[in-house]
Structure 1
Amino acid sequence: MNRLFRAALSLFAAPRLNMREDYEKVRRRQRRLAALPVPRYQASDWRIGPDGASHRVPVRTFQPKERLRDDVLVFFHGGGWVTGDIESYTPACATMADLTGCTVLSVDYRLAPEHPFPAGLEDCYDVARLLLEDPQRAGADSADRIVLVGDSAGGNLAAVVSLLLRDRGRHGASRQILLYPVTHWDHDPASSPFASVRNHGEDYRLTNAEVQDYFELYVPDPERRRDRLVAPLMSEDLSAQPRTLVITAELDLLRDEGEAYGRALEAAGNAVRLHRVDGALHGFIALPRFSRSLREAYEVINAFLDGDAEESSVHQGMP
């Protein structure tokens, strides 16, 4: 990006918000933006949960304008486990359905701080487990057609759900797509092991301060933030995980930890593809359909869904 554009982006850096105090304001703003006119889409709402459970998780199903694939994408939204919901992610999910030609199920898991860890994780786990055990509920002809997808904190949830499914002896997804996921607990530029935290944690779409606020709201106990169910990169056993696509954004502070997680999965014997989108910012999955970053990402996603054999490959811009 040129210097002028970088300066303009810095005006919107998150330190202007204190997420610990302003998260409700952010939620309202997100819903207002999502209510703006969006392309027409076919959607239906329902709830899913274990038999006898008092809490059932809302799910919104999006159908593509043209069904091109039999896969069903179970999507966990981003927002630092604190913001985001079915409404605010409706435009992104409608786009996802149309650009992949797949049915998309958007999961409205419980948010912190009202429902701190592990409430939202357990919601995502319950939805994934029930759909994998009975894929026809998702509109899939087999469990192999169900793909877990998440962006940012949702990518974190997708990764952890896959670990939990394995650990609890449940049927796991055959594939997962992690978009600029949170995988580590430390985002302090003075102590983080990742250069992207130091290089991109103050200027752009997502900042160190915002991530720290999210963690404090999601996991109030600092010691628990190192738990592998919060920071999956800390897991000592990453074996038996789904075939994985990790997509990162060049100018995102989460870039390096997402790529580190992909490499750790590969080292544990899993099939992994890594792709970095040059010039992209955190959260680009919500950009308009004409966005270059968005279209590049969907080209990679569609190749992955079609069984692209180029596993463990990387974008030329990656080290």
Structure 2
Amino acid sequence: MLKKELVNWLDTFNNVTVPNLIAKGFKPTPVNAREGLANLTKGLISNIPEIATIFDDYICNADYNVPVRIYNPNPSEKLPVLIYFHGGGHMAGSVTVYDPICRKLAIKTNHIVVSVEYRLSPENPYPCGLVDAYNSIKYIYNTLDSRNINYIRSLKIGGDSGGGAIVASVAMLAQFDDTVVIDKMFMIYPSLDYTMSFPSIVSNGKGYLLESGKILWYFNNYFAHDEDRRKASPIFNEITENIPPTLIFTASYCPLRDEGVEYVSKLKDAKVDVLHFNLDNMIHTFMNMEDLCQEECNFVYEKFNLFLNS
């Protein structure tokens, strides 16, 4: 059953906020998509912890120098590295929006967290963001070395929603690349099927914040040159035992739930170590709505810590 606090919030959102916007002539644009996620996160994550060291830098490469923000919770310790790819449908989200989440990730897991400002559509459509993500994992150590940071050469990657799609896509490429080593990965309600062919896209496609029409709009902006969306989808690509151990969270009232569940099944078939938790009272984007679901967010952070440090 959907958590009461989310029921109440969705009731206002669906029956007051959205109708008022439509009455004023609202039309979705990249600008208001970005503002929407930023305002949601700012309004519903009130606990933003202090952290020892934060600085901005680039991951330099021949394609595009990728801006990153690096969070180090214990600069005197030699810590493992976690690269985080934010959500937002490949169009919204940013290092700034996800700052409170990355602070908590760093503190709760005792990892150096690298938050990646990969390029977004429609200005930079597929595969620009994926290229940035892959270059981030290939060259992150150069950036850390240039800053004389203490780190353990152990790389994990994680992301939510569209960032989860990037995580799975990066792992899909890295399983055939001997120059890239990913030790573990995690995804929160990941987007894994660009063809939108799983049942929960319909059954959870309206009324739960992220709706199927919005997902299609995101994808239409991301794939600007008539690319094969099935071929780009991690769920339909080859999965081998070279995929790193994986932790996946799905949510019962999320339109992406079923593709996440199927991906777990495919990983298990390939003999990949996988751990899956479905939160049966949550919607998509709940990690950006922490004030309404503190217990569930704490549960996720706790599982991150256990998984990444085991």
TM-score (norm 1): 0.82
Which amino acid is 2:216 matched to?
A: Q
Residue 50 of structure 2: aligned partner: 40
Q: Per chain length, whose mean CA-contact separation is higher, i.e. which structure has more relative contact order (CA < 8 Å, sep 6+)?
A: 2
Residue 174 of structure 2: aligned partner: 165
CA shift, 1:76, in A, is 0.3
Q: Verify the 8 A CA contact 1:20 1:213 in the aligned structure 2.
A: no
Q: Verify the 8 A CA contact 1:132 1:172 in the aligned structure 2.
A: no
CA distance in 2, matches of 1:226, 1:11: 36
Which amino acid is 1:293 matched to?
A: E
Residue 204 of structure 1: aligned partner: 208
Residue 297 of structure 1: aligned partner: 300
CA shift, 1:127, in A, is 0.6
Residue 72 of structure 1: aligned partner: 81
CA distance in 2, matches of 1:252, 1:21: 21
Which amino acid is 1:220 matched to?
A: A
CA shift, 1:278, in A, is 2.5
CA shift, 1:30, in A, is 4.3
Residue 195 of structure 2: aligned partner: 186
1:27 matches 2:34: yes
Which amino acid is 1:207 matched to?
A: E
**Alignment RMSD, CA only?**
3.1
Residue 248 of structure 1: aligned partner: 250
CA shift, 1:123, in A, is 0.2
CA distance in 2, matches of 1:169, 1:93: 29
Deviations 1:239-265 (A, max 9, x none): 311111111122111111112112111
Q: 5+ residue gaps in structure 2?
A: none
Q: Verify the 8 A CA contact 1:46 1:59 in the aligned structure 2.
A: yes
CA gap of 1:202–1:66, structure 2 versus 1, over 3 A, is farther
CA distance in 2, matches of 1:71, 1:206: 33
1:206 aligned counterpart, secondary structure: coil
1:123 aligned counterpart, secondary structure: helix
Deviations 1:132-161 (A, max 9, x none): 688756946443x21101111101101111
CA shift, 1:223, in A, is 4.9
Deviations 1:115-138 (A, max 9, x none): 000000000000101136887569
1:6 matches 2:7: yes
CA distance in 1, matches of 2:75, 2:297: 19
TM-score (norm 2): 0.84
Q: 5+ residue gaps in structure 1?
A: 308-319
Deviations 1:210-258 (A, max 9, x none): 111110011134552111xx31001134331111111112211111111
1:107 matches 2:111: no
Q: Verify the 8 A CA contact 2:167 2:187 in the aligned structure 1.
A: yes
Q: Verify the 8 A CA contact 2:80 2:152 in the aligned structure 1.
A: no
CA shift, 1:10, in A, is 4.7
Residue 315 of structure 1: aligned partner: none
CA shift, 1:6, in A, is 3.0
CA gap of 1:140–1:272, structure 2 versus 1, over 3 A, is farther
Moved more, 72-81 or 169-178: 169-178
Percent identical across equivalent pairs? 29
CA distance in 2, matches of 1:90, 1:172: 26
CA shift, 1:93, in A, is 1.1
Residue 234 of structure 1: aligned partner: 236
CA gap of 1:74–1:118, structure 2 versus 1, over 3 A, is same
2:79 aligned counterpart, secondary structure: coil
Deviations 1:85-111 (A, max 9, x none): 111111111122222222211000000
Within the candidate set 288, 292, 310, 2:290 is matched to 288
Which amino acid is 1:6 matched to?
A: V
Q: Verify the 8 A CA contact 1:176 1:244 in the aligned structure 2.
A: yes
Q: Verify the 8 A CA contact 1:178 1:245 in the aligned structure 2.
A: yes
CA gap of 1:75–1:5, structure 2 versus 1, over 3 A, is closer
Q: Verify the 8 A CA contact 1:277 1:297 in the aligned structure 2.
A: no
CA distance in 1, matches of 2:253, 2:78: 32
1:97 matches 2:102: no
CA gap of 1:271–1:134, structure 2 versus 1, over 3 A, is farther
Moved more, 127-136 or 14-23: 14-23
CA shift, 1:47, in A, is 0.4
